[in-house]
Amino acid sequence: MVSPRTVIEAFLPSRGDIALELVYDTANAAGIADQPIRLALRRMVAAGEVVQSGRGRQATAALTAVGRERLDQDRLAVRLAFTQDQGLDPWDGRWRLLAVSAPESERAIRDGLRRTLVEAGAALVSTGLYVSPHDLAIVLDSSEYLVHAEATDLDVRGVTDPQAIAELLWPAAPTIAAYDAIDDAIRQTGPPLVRQLHLAEALEHALRPDPLLPPELRASPWPPAVVRRRWYDAWMALTEQLPEELLYRGWLSWPTSCPGAWQWPQAVPARPPG
């Protein structure tokens, strides 16, 4: 079941508003009643993320600056995943080390930073010390509590090979398993918009635990990258069945220069049903 919040967020464009009648109708077609959508929308309005004009199904909704910033952060993972899959963001070979340094009196800030680092895909290698192959500055807003360092050589408990370090700190198996639901979503039947909602929900759940390591640190072909290609093909095929782009307008920005040169992973068979 697609969550009510996912339905609302999928329809909210980065700029402009959306008629809520379309949101409710699509949610109903996906098996979601009006009331859960209404409650989710109220929570988003109360949080200052959305502004609603009018009432009921005849109303419109639009993102506030706060809501736009939060969704933009959420969708960084989508953009990074597809950029890396297409070979457009090669790893520079540097590890980023981040140490959280905050006094006990500011424990809430310290704990919040640690959560943010883990959610951004950093791995804990020692007490208060995290490592990532990515520059995470864009998701960190308390730099005065962080110590940064970079290294081209890293030794983690005797492991020095970059791919071996990646497997030690970010095991492949759980990441690969998280993508199983995408093939299930691709096989869904029904109206194009409803199918796109299922695809969006499946991709969100797959990306949430994925550290999105650079391809250089994973086996090739990397199964999640191959599944994301199938997701992209299914998404675009459904978009072509619609009169206009309705979901994630202004958010899913695919590279448009020379698409024939995209370095997508080689196709592999989809996971069989069951």
Distance CA 200, CA 226 (A): 17
Check residue 137 and give its pLDDT.
80
Residue 135 in 3-state DSSP?
coil
Return the beta strands (E) in the chain as ranges: 17-19, 50-53, 60-63, 95-100, 123-126, 129-132, 146-151
Q: In the chain, what are the domains? A: 4-70 (1.10.10.10), 75-88+172-261 (no CATH), 95-151 (no CATH)
Q: Which residues share a beta bridge with 50?
A: 63
* 27-64 pLDDT tens trace: 999 999 999 999 999 999 999 999 999 999 999 999 99
The CA dihedral of 186, 232, 241, 16, to the nearest 10 degrees, is 120
Sign of the Cα torsion 4, 9, 69, 178 reads positive
pLDDT of residue 254: 52
Strands 123-126 and 129-132: antiparallel
pLDDT, position 22: 94
- Chain CA centroid to CA 160, Å: 29
> Which residues of the chain fall below pLDDT 70?
142, 251-274
The rounded percent of the chain whose pLDDT value lies above 70 is 91
- How do residues 208-227 score in pLDDT, each as one tens digit? 999 999 999 999 999 999 99
Answer for the pair 150, 134: CB distance below 8 angstroms, yes or no.
no
Predicted local distance difference test score (pLDDT) of residue 260: 35
Residue 167 phi, psi dihedral angles, 5° rounding: -70, -35
Instruction: State both tokens at 201.
Output: 């929900």
Q: 103: exposed, middle or buried (C-beta count within 10 Å: 0-12, 13-18, 19+)?
A: exposed
DSSP SS3 for 35: helix
What are the structure tokens assigned to 159, written together?
């492991």
Separation between Cα atoms, residue 224 and residue 235, nearest integer Å: 16
Other beta carbons within 10 angstroms of residue 222's beta carbon come to 19
- So what's the pLDDT on residue 73? 79
